Structure 1
Amino acid sequence: MQGIIDLHHDIFFFLILILVFVLWILVRALWHFHYKENAIPQRIVHGTTIEILRTIFPSLISMFIAIPSFALLYSMDEVVVDPAITIKAIGHQWYRTYEYSDYNSSDEQSLTFDSYMIPEEDLELGQSRLLEVDNRVVVPAKTHLRIIVTSADVPHSWAVPSSGVKCDAVPGRLNQISILVQREGVYYGQCSEICGTNHAFTRAPGNIGRLLSPLWLSRTTRGCEPPEKQAITASGWSCREPRSKAVDKIEEGARHPVEQRGRLG
Structure 2
Amino acid sequence: MMLRGKWIAAAAAFGAMAASGAWATEPAPWAFGFQTAATPVKAAMSSFHGMLLVVITLITIFVLGLLAWVVIRFRADRNPNPSKTTHNTLIEVVWTVVPVLILVIIAIPSFRLLYFLDRNPDAEMTIKVVGHQWYWQYEYPDQDGIKFDSYMIPVADLKPGQKRLLEVDNRLVLPVGTTIRVLVTGNDVMHSWFVPSLGVQNYAFPGRTNETWIKLEREGVYYGQCNQICGVNHGFMPIAVEGVSKEAFQRWVGEAKKKFAGGETAPEPVRLARIAD
Q: What TM-score range do you get, normalising by the shorter chain?
A: 0.7 to 0.9
User: Alignment partner of 2:218: what SS?
Assistant: coil
2:244 to 198, 212, 228: 212
2:10 aligned with 1:10: no
CA distance 1:40–1:97, shift in 2 (3 Å) = same
1:180: which partner in 2?
215
For structure 1, list consecutive stretches of 5 or more residues without a partner in the other structure.
Answer: 105-109, 233-265
The structure whose residues are more often strand, as a share, is: 2
TM-score (norm 1): 0.76
User: Alignment partner of 1:49: what SS?
Assistant: helix
Matches within 5 A, 1:1-265: 1-35=42-76, 37=79, 39-42=81-84, 45-77=86-118, 79-104=119-144, 110-203=145-238, 206-209=239-242, 211-219=243-251, 221=254, 227-229=260-262
CA distance 1:225–1:131, shift in 2 (3 Å) = closer
Which AA in structure 1 matches 2:116?
Answer: S
CA–CA separation in structure 2 for the residues paired with 1:85 and 1:102: 6
CA–CA separation in structure 1 for the residues paired with 2:154 and 2:259: 29
CA–CA separation in structure 1 for the residues paired with 2:111 and 2:81: 45
Between 1 and 2, higher relative CO (CA 8 Å, sep ≥ 6) is seen in: 2
Structure 1 residue 96 displacement after superposition: 1.1
Deviations 1:10-61 (A, max 9, x none): 2212222222222221111111113363554456x42221111111111111
Which AA in structure 2 matches 1:170?
Answer: F
CA–CA separation in structure 2 for the residues paired with 1:197 and 1:173: 23
CA–CA separation in structure 1 for the residues paired with 2:250 and 2:229: 39
For structure 2, list consecutive stretches of 5 or more residues without a partner in the other structure.
Answer: 1-41, 266-277
CA distance 1:181–1:42, shift in 2 (3 Å) = farther
CA distance 1:227–1:163, shift in 2 (3 Å) = closer
Deviations 1:104-137 (A, max 9, x none): 2xxxxx2111100011111112221111111101
Deviations 1:201-228 (A, max 9, x none): 111xx3202x122112443749x65944
CA–CA separation in structure 2 for the residues paired with 1:2 and 1:133: 26
CA–CA separation in structure 2 for the residues paired with 1:153 and 1:188: 23
Q: How many positions carry a matched residue from both structures?
A: 222
Contact 2:221 2:241 in 1 (8 A): yes
CA–CA separation in structure 2 for the residues paired with 1:39 and 1:215: 81
Which AA in structure 2 matches 1:17?
Answer: L
CA distance 1:49–1:216, shift in 2 (3 Å) = same
Identity %: 44
User: Alignment partner of 1:121: what SS?
Assistant: helix
Which AA in structure 1 matches 2:235?
Answer: A
Structure 1 residue 95 displacement after superposition: 0.7
Structure 1 residue 8 displacement after superposition: 1.2
TM-score (norm 2): 0.73
User: Alignment partner of 1:126: what SS?
Assistant: coil
Which AA in structure 2 matches 1:88?
Answer: K
